Amino acid sequence: MMFNMPTLPYAHNALEPVISQATIDFHYGKHLQTYVNNLNNLVPGTAFEGKTLEEIVATAPDGPVFNNAGQVLNHTFYFLQFAPSPARHEPEGPLADAIRRDFGSFDNFKKEFTAAATSLFGSGWAWLSADKDGKLHITKEANGSNPLRAGLTPLLTFDVWEHAYYLDYQNRRADHLQALWSIIDWPTVEERFK
């Protein structure tokens, strides 16, 4: 099994001004492509050959296979959750109900999620995930880790590695994170919650 780059559902310049074409070209075109290439070179001949990306991330010990698989999975979630002109800026249906139940309101959820992403020390990811009972959790994952490792279902993520925003925002991580809310494709996130 070879791992492939996710196909972006938008042009490289379509997320501007939130995410520039230059950032997509580097972040997606170079960083993610390197993780995909590395994973395809590392997996053959190991116990992970023939496994899905999710199986590798959930079970691999820390090390090169896990690091690269985690980055491929995380970036795939990240890039596929955006839309240039989202039809709406809030979730609907069961996900919206769960957010109100577990965080009090959508605005409070956004505040808590943004705070988690802003305060993550170093490189990593902020995640919204659901447990087996449908309860929502916000977690901070270092480097290439993913909530799958804790038995959670990942729904939404913000990448806080500097390469995700530095070309556009320099050291203004909080400004970048605030801008991301305007390009979330909520139907994609809702589908992950089903």
Annotated binding site: 27, 75, 159, 163
* One-letter amino acid of 97: D
Q: What is the DSSP letter of 183?
A: G
| Helix boundaries (H) for 47-160 | 53-59, 64-79, 93-103, 106-119
Q: Which residues are within 8 A (CB) of 116 and not within 5 positions of it... i.e. 6 or more apart?
A: 126, 138, 139, 140
Annotated binding site for Mn(2+): 27, 75, 159, 163
What are all long-range contacts of 107-112, with beta carbons under 8 Å and residues at least 24 apart?
Answer: 110/181, 112/138
Q: How far apart are CA 66 and CA 71, in angstroms?
A: 8
